[in-house]
Amino acid sequence: MVNLFRGFVFLWLSCIGIVHAADTGWLVSPQNDHARIRFQAERENNRIQGLLTVELKPGWKTYWRSPGEGGVAPKISWPEGVKDSWSWPVPSRFDISGMTTQGYHARVQIPITLDGVKNDTLDGTLTLSTCSNVCLLTDYPLHLDFTQPADDGFRSEFEQAMRAVPGTSGVSTDLSAWLSGDKLVITGTTDGKWDNPGIYFDPLEGDILPGDPVITHDGNRLRVTVPVTDDWGDKPASLKGKALSFVLTNGDQAQQTSLTVGATPEAPAAPDGTGKMVLFALLGGLILNLMPCVLPVMGMKLNSILHAGSDRRTIRLRFLATSAGIMTSFMLLAAMVTALKLAGASLGWGIQFQNRWFIGLMVTVTFLFALNLFGTFEMLLPSAAAGRLATAGGAGISGSFCEGMFATLLATPCSAPFLGTAVAFALGAPLYSLWLIFLMLGVGMSLPWLFVALVPKTALLLPKPGRWMNTLKVVLGLMMLASSFWLASLLSQHLGDAIAQVVMLILVAVALALFVMKRQASSPLFWLVVIALSAFGGYQVRGLLNAPPDALAQNTAQTISWQPLSEEAIAQALVQGKRVFVDISADWCVTCKVNEHRVLNQPDIIAALRQPDVVALRGDWSQPSALIAEFLAKRNRYAIPFNAVYGPGLPDGEILSPLLDKRTLVTTLNNAKG
């Protein structure tokens, strides 16, 4: 009797575990041959788990639960009393007819749980929207018969599809959101670092629609900025307290997140260390006067002092006007940086030299100043307007004001000590701090000029005017002409080497012709200038015809294996236990060229950078580069030259001074070994 009872219990338990399955097979609609679908389901102990599979031809998409700006999410209409719960895998973002949408392409499997099914058969209708350059809304009739035997592969397919569904954790635990202007801002951190993060939004409470997000990340920190509008396309007044739902991805990980939008943060107070940065700005601006970029303008000012004679009042007014020109230029730079910052553009000290039109303007102005110092300009451009431009460098208060503005423009390709730190602080600070730092940079650069204005006796220590002034003017003209040639050479990045050399040949020919027409051949200085200009012109002709590579640059390229700069290259080298030297420069960066000549092209430094465990990475910022701008911004740097060393002993890197020296570089490379 006991054995009979045990057998009955065993049979009853076995019947409970019987699995009934249903499969529609592959379905294709006559109205839509771009897609086919299949619905499989399995009933076990009154629970039904289904799996919807959609396969699409290339170029066709279907939609996620929140399609975005257009499209319709898939939906199944079941008999009354039957409810379904969809588990959505991570979608993709794509554009259709100018609208950003969220969905799937190629193949997707969506797990679905059904409740309320009482019979052995179930009928429903799947409504599926598929889009390419046109959109089709297609109905697929579903018939499920749970008396069929279970498919051996269904269980593994269902479990695999569930693994593709985002969990509720695993990516970030400290996400927060708030409204900033007309954009929703989301920030958070992750364990480790962010790897190609993505985000996919559901509509916010109140039918607020998110747009196309902009995602930035730095190490383990993430910031998402996304425009939001209401049903009328207007900016919402506030999102505080509204529910926010989205899927956040990091590499192969995905997390379904729900949170409440917080209040908009108050404007940040003045950052710590503002006083120290003001001092750095003063010192950085002061040191700019010693950089080679500003020397031609210093020569122009020296020439104007000599013409002023012993008139202290004239000297004072001219130097005050020069200081005013410097201050005005720095305020204009602050206004330009403010506009770029508000527009979200790349920021950096001297980036205007990435613009061909700005370089062309500077070539023209320096060339006209040089001709004026040669005393030839009035024969070249007799118009009143051109005359005012040419004499701006040496006559009157307005001329001194122009000298100050011009000196500032020529100073921007130089990154002096303290300057980079102050500029980096300014570009990352609130706008009022940015303006304060740029104001102090202007004050610092103006200090020598203000000192002469306050103590005119210092200017009177120069020798009395005489015939030697004519010689000095020619020397100063050659300095200014050299600046013009250097600026013209920067056009090679935009127009090609050949066109840049042609421009320089034209400048040489014009300067030489006018100088010969204006000067007397009996002067030894006359023949010195003629020989110098002729030699430079001959060099350009030879380069234009033969295009010989620069010997020093060629030698450096053969001995230092420079590789393209990237975050991935640094990370890979560190994983391999190697040291990394990073050099970011530009053709327009005078300090960069000084570093190359004094340090990087020296044999002992070349030998150090050729070590088997050293990787040399170089970035060229002569033209705009989003990669380099982002690389610098991540390190809170906005000026070049930029040099840093990484290694087992310096995994976070050590940034070097803008003015390199061999001893510090070698020491830092040794410390990076660990």
List, in order of start, the domains of the chain with CATH numbers.
20-163 (2.60.40.1250), 176-260 (2.60.40.1150), 274-354+392-464 (no CATH), 553-671 (3.40.30.10)
> What one-character DSSP code corresponds to residue 245?
E
Instruction: Choose between 614 and 411: higher pLDDT.
Output: 614
- pLDDT at residue 330 in the model: 81
Cα separation, 640 vs 589, whole angstroms: 7
Q: Which residues pair with 187 in a beta bridge?
A: 176, 223
- pLDDT at residue 372 in the model: 67
Tell me: pLDDT of 519 over 80: no
Angle between helices 295-308 and 312-343 (to 10 degrees): 150
Q: What is the mean pLDDT of residues 554-573?
A: 75
- pLDDT at residue 124 in the model: 93
Cα separation, 327 vs 408, whole angstroms: 9
Across the chain, what does the average pLDDT equal?
Answer: 75
Residue 2 neighbours by CB under 8 Å, 6+ apart: none
- pLDDT at residue 393 in the model: 41
Amino acid at 326: I
Q: What residue spans of 223-355 are helical by DSSP H?
A: 274-288, 295-308, 312-343
Most confident of 63-77, 425-439, 511-525, 629-643: 63-77
Cβ atoms of 227 and 221 closer than 8 Å: no
Chain-centre distance for alpha carbon 90: 28
- pLDDT at residue 219 in the model: 75
Q: Which residue has the tokens 């660990």?
A: 674
Nearest to 365 by CA among 331, 336, 389: 389
Residue 152 neighbours by CB under 8 Å, 6+ apart: none
Q: What is the mean pLDDT of residues 647-656?
A: 86
Q: State both tokens at 328.
A: 């005005």
At 4, is the pLDDT very low, low, confident or very high (cuts 50, 70, 90)?
A: very low
Which secondary structure element, helix H or strand E, spans residue 438, and what is its range?
Answer: helix 431-454
Tell me: pLDDT of 554 over 50: no
- pLDDT at residue 17 in the model: 39
Instruction: Choose between 6 and 398: higher pLDDT.
Output: 398
> What one-character DSSP code corresponds to residue 195?
-
Nearest to 622 by CA among 348, 250, 309: 348
Residue 284 neighbours by CB under 8 Å, 6+ apart: 416, 417, 418, 419, 420, 421, 422, 423, 441, 444
Q: What is the DSSP string of 528-575?
A: HHHHHHHHHHHHHHHHHHH-PPPHHHHHHHHHS-EEE--HHHHHHHHH
- pLDDT at residue 273 in the model: 53
Tell me: pLDDT of 14 over 50: no
Q: What is the mean pLDDT of residues 270-292?
A: 67
Cα separation, 60 vs 20, whole angstroms: 34
> What's the pTM value of the predicted model, to 2 decimals?
0.44
Contacts 24+ apart (CB under 8 A), 552-558: 552/601, 556/596, 556/600, 556/601, 556/606
At 536, is the pLDDT very low, low, confident or very high (cuts 50, 70, 90)?
A: low
- pLDDT at residue 542 in the model: 61
Tell me: pLDDT of 30 over 60: yes
Which secondary structure element, helix H or strand E, spans residue 138, and what is its range?
Answer: strand 135-145
Instruction: Choose between 312 and 102: higher pLDDT.
Output: 102
Which secondary structure element, helix H or strand E, spans residue 645, and what is its range?
Answer: strand 642-647
Nearest to 420 by CA among 582, 632, 562, 578: 632
- pLDDT at residue 269 in the model: 44
Residue 173 neighbours by CB under 8 Å, 6+ apart: none
Cα separation, 476 vs 482, whole angstroms: 10
> What one-character DSSP code corresponds to residue 583?
E
> What one-character DSSP code corresponds to residue 254?
E
What ranges make up the beta strands (E) of 421-533? Answer: none
- pLDDT at residue 64 in the model: 93
Nearest to 501 by CA among 544, 445, 547: 544
> What one-character DSSP code corresponds to residue 424?
H
Tally of residues, the chain: 674
Report the share of the chain in percent with pLDDT over 90. 16
SS3 91: coil
Q: What is the mean pLDDT of residues 540-545?
A: 57
Tell me: pLDDT of 533 over 80: no
Residue 250 neighbours by CB under 8 Å, 6+ apart: 171, 172, 190, 194, 195, 196, 197
Q: Which of 144-148, 451-455, 460-464 has the lowest mean pLDDT?
A: 460-464
Q: What is the mean pLDDT of residues 243-253?
A: 91
Report the share of the chain in percent with pLDDT over 70. 67
Cα separation, 624 vs 343, whole angstroms: 16
At 69, is the pLDDT very low, low, confident or very high (cuts 50, 70, 90)?
A: confident
Tell me: pLDDT of 499 over 70: yes
Amino acid at 142: L
- pLDDT at residue 233 in the model: 63
Tell me: pLDDT of 482 over 50: yes
Most confident of 318-322, 506-510, 555-559: 318-322
At 378, is the pLDDT very low, low, confident or very high (cuts 50, 70, 90)?
A: very low
Tell me: pLDDT of 49 over 70: yes
Question: CA-CA-CA-CA torsion for 148, 151, 156, 157, nearest 10 degrees?
Answer: -80
Q: What is the mean pLDDT of residues 130-146?
A: 90
Q: What is the mean pLDDT of residues 458-478?
A: 59
Cα separation, 432 vs 341, whole angstroms: 13
* Helices and strands (DSSP H and E) totals, the chain: 21, 25
- pLDDT at residue 293 in the model: 56
Q: What is the mean pLDDT of residues 652-665?
A: 85
- Category of 80 on φ-ψ map: left (φ > 0), alpha (ψ -120 to 50) or beta: beta
Q: Which of 25-34, 350-359, 379-388, 631-640 has the lowest mean pLDDT?
A: 379-388
- Tell me the per-residue pLDDT of 191-221, one tens digit each, with 9 for 90 and over: 888 888 999 998 887 667 788 888 888 778 8
Q: What is the mean pLDDT of residues 24-43?
A: 91
- pLDDT at residue 472 in the model: 59
At 9, is the pLDDT very low, low, confident or very high (cuts 50, 70, 90)?
A: very low
Residue 228 neighbours by CB under 8 Å, 6+ apart: 179, 182, 183, 184, 204, 208, 209, 210, 211, 235, 236, 239
SS3 591: helix
First to last CA, the chain: 80
Q: What is the mean pLDDT of residues 222-234?
A: 78
At 524, is the pLDDT very low, low, confident or very high (cuts 50, 70, 90)?
A: low
Nearest to 622 by CA among 346, 355, 420, 336: 355
Q: State both tokens at 47.
A: 């629970």
